[in-house]
Amino acid sequence: MRLINEWKYSDHPDNKVNVSARKIAEIYKETTEHKGTQIIFSDIGTPKPVEFNIYDAVKEKLIRDFNIPEREITFIHDWTDTKKPELFRKMNRGEIRILLGSTEKAGTGLNVQQRVVAMHHLDIPWKPSELEQRNGRGARQGNLIAKEYYGNKVQNYIYAVEQSLDNYKFNLLKNKQTFISQMKNCELNVRTIDEGAIDEKSGMNFSEYIAILSGDTSLLEKSKLEKKIAVMESLKVSHFREIARNKYQLENLQNEQASTVKTLDKLAADEKVYKAGLQLDKDGVKVNPIKLDTISSTDSEAIGKHIIKLYQDWKPAVADEHTAQIGTLYGFSLYIRRQQEAYEENGVFEYRYSNSFYAQRSSDGIKYTYNNGLPNTDNPKLAARHFLNAIDRVESLKEKYEHTLNELKTEIPKLEQLTTKPFLQEAELQQMKNELANLERQIAIKIQENQLKQQQVAETEPEEVIDTPVIQLSEKVNGHTVPKEVILASQQVAERSRSRMRL
């Protein structure tokens, strides 16, 4: 999360950088005799000169807190293709013992396997094959140190955080690997092909087909005009949705501007008090005259150990009071607070507790924290300067809020203009609607004319009457001749059929 905002999110002692650094340092010391090397993979947080990134954070931690020489740590990004053979030689000789790289740059073509004893994955790649490529940088033929001294095994460490994106990516890798395995082993029972939707983007829609088949081009014109109006109406809806979004954003920025002004006033007052009492030693380093209530020593290491112990073990004396003052520094009061966090485990909600520190000059003043209130638990001397580092942020915070205020003063007038911007195609839309209404009237008139013509034809057409032929026959009944009329069946049938066709 520090890649998003290093000020907002803390360097927690149990985050990936700190946990991995401890493990890397531990293996480094254990394999010093044989100059064992390690590879750390991370596809996010690659080196950037000014911004926070994973690579520099790990390197700084290893050098500062675990005394690993800087010359034995390197980034793959610092080696061009022409210089890589030199990197390979130094890694294989053990001159460089820790390499940080991404899957793209270090996943293939990296011949540094002779002394690799451990691989560390700070994030999870998106493809199963990429994870295999990573592991193949160390667990491969030619790894002499692992074969001779470590049971022919290379340790693999994957660092993940519960209830985070890591869980999703692991599940994604599992699904992809299952699918690939099923394909290779002919075990995939479902086969689907998505040929794309058949809609207006694929050609004519059904209304256009009907218009063409009817033989009336006015229907086709009506269909095309309706489509244009639908597109324009969609643009109009999007425009007013954007207007509403801009109004909402404008209101938020105006509220933020008022809040920023109040914060700047408090920062200016705190900066004045801090600089008035600030002391420097002969080398120009800021003196740390911290006074803690429960310790009288002025030794920085003793103070640091005490702060670390408070962070790890402190509990409030009264159950409802989660904050306590523990000392003073340059006119600021120093506090420790206990925070409660709920989590679910095996269907039951539990609570975990953690402590953090902050400094504050007045009860309604700004609470200054460093590293989100979490001290460096691996280095007592740095932990002793935790509160000084927190208060010392007042100047940078003031500059930050001044920059924010200037940006707000620039953005607010722009949003005010955007909220009053009209829909520029409104006249064109109304014209198309009028054309459509005229076209619909013309079509309705044509339909009425056609119906009238059909009715007139039906009324003026004479009804043809055909006499049915009759054949005179005679039949003898009781010896007497009796006349009888017989209708020809074929003529009768034909006439009946003609009558039905006319109807």
pLDDT, one tens digit per residue, over 99-109 is 999 888 887 77
CA 301 to chain centre: 43
Q: Which residues, other chains included, contact 249 with Cβ-Cβ below 8 Å and sequence gap of 6+?
A: 415
8 A C-beta contact, residue 130 and residue 103: yes
Structure token digits, residue 426? 């409104």
Give CA separation, 69 vs 21, 83, 96, 116, 117, in Å. 14, 21, 10, 18, 19
CA 123 to chain centre: 15
Rounded to two decimals, the pTM is: 0.57
CA 279 to chain centre: 46
pLDDT, one tens digit per residue, over 362-394 is 989 999 999 999 999 999 999 999 999 999 999
8 A C-beta contact, residue 495 and residue 468: yes
- What is the residue type of 413? P
Buried b (16+ CB within 10 A) or exposed e, 215-233: eeeebbbbbebeeeeeebe
Residues in the chain, pLDDT under 70: 1-9, 163-164, 167-168, 182, 187-217, 461-503
Look-up: residue for tokens 């839309």?
429
User: Which residues partner with 39 through β-bridges?
Assistant: 99, 119
d(CA 17, CA 58): 6
Q: Can you tell me whether residue 300 is helix, strand or coil? A: helix
- Check residue 174 and give its pLDDT: 73
Q: Can you tell me whether residue 274 is helix, strand or coil? A: helix
User: Which residues partner with 74 through β-bridges?
Assistant: 99
Residue ranges and CATH numbers for the domains of the chain are: 16-159 (3.40.50.300), 291-391 (no CATH), 470-502 (no CATH)
pLDDT, one tens digit per residue, over 274-305 is 999 999 999 999 999 999 998 888 899 999 99
**470-477 and 98-101 beta bridge pairing:** unpaired
How many helices (DSSP H) and strands (DSSP E) are in the chain?
15, 11
Longest Cα–Cα distance of the chain, Å, equals: 161
Give CA separation, 495 vs 465, 471, 501, in Å. 9, 17, 10
